[in-house]
């Protein structure tokens, strides 16, 4: 019985060695010639590939949706997507990200007790208005190059409007709608 097991292992080992040797012989015998340009060109493909990678589609504005946006839905979305890194209570502690109470209308890097990225600190004189929040929530890394925020963003403009409506409600004097 043990001889049968040995024969099986020997067969697998011999096959592996045979394939390895065949591969080595094939690589030394055959030298493929790489073409300088493709042999077949497809019209239109080259023009699309030449387009710059930064030409992202235009971001849909959120301002028209804010009047109908739901702060309650935004609270749920923010609780699901943002609460693991941010707190929302007035005077709440910072987590991995800063507390977001009163962020709308306030300037970038608005908390003195949080260590913002240099990219965010560079924008400390710029306010968080509706358009800036929309752009940042759509894709933080695209909106502010060099941000430490590792979040892909919210694709749906309606969800972004709801989150912005929620952030607007986190203020003693909410900013007027545009």
Q: Residue 50: its pLDDT value, please?
A: 46
Read off the pLDDT of residues 3-19 as tens digits, 9 standing for 90 and up. Answer: 889 999 999 999 999 99
Q: Residue 1: its pLDDT value, please?
A: 66
Read off the pLDDT of residues 68-112 as tens digits, 9 standing for 90 and up. Answer: 999 999 999 999 999 999 999 999 999 999 999 999 999 999 899
Read off the pLDDT of residues 23-53 as tens digits, 9 standing for 90 and up. Answer: 999 888 987 777 788 778 777 665 544 445 5
Task: Give residue 162's pLDDT band: very low, low, confident or very high (50, 70, 90).
Answer: very high
The pLDDT of 44-71, averaged and rounded, is: 72
Q: Residue 46: its pLDDT value, please?
A: 56
Check residue 121 and report its DSSP letter.
H
Q: Residue 136: its pLDDT value, please?
A: 94
| Higher pLDDT pick, 55 / 2 | 2
> Do 108 and 123 contact (CB within 8 A), yes or no?
yes
Burial of 133 per CB tally in 10 Å (0-12, 13-18, 19+): buried
Q: Which residue has the tokens 């923010």?
A: 78
Q: Residue 57: its pLDDT value, please?
A: 65
Read off the pLDDT of residues 107-132 as tens digits, 9 standing for 90 and up. Answer: 999 899 999 999 999 999 999 999 99
Name the pTM for this structure: 0.67
């Amino acid at each position: 019985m043990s001889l049968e097991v040995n024969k099986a292992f020997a067969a697998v080992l011999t096959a592996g060695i045979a394939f390895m040797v065949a591969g080595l012989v094939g690589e030394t015998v055959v030298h493929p010639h790489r073409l300088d340009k493709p042999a077949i060109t497809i019209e239109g493909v080259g023009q699309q590939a030449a387009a710059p990678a930064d030409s992202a589609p235009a971001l849909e504005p959120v301002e028209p949706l804010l009047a109908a946006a739901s702060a309650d839905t935004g609270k749920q979305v923010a609780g699901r997507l943002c609460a693991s890194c941010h707190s929302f209570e007035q005077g709440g502690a910072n987590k991995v990200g800063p507390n977001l109470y009163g962020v709308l209308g306030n300037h970038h890097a608005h908390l003195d007790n949080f260590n913002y990225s240099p990219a965010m600190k560079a924008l400390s004189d710029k306010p968080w208005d509706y358009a800036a929040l929309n752009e940042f929530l759509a894709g933080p890394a695209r909106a502010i190059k060099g941000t430490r925020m590792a979040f892909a963003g919210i694709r749906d403009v309606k969800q972004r409007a709801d989150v912005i409506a929620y952030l607007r409600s986190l203020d003693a004097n909410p900013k007027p709608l545009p």
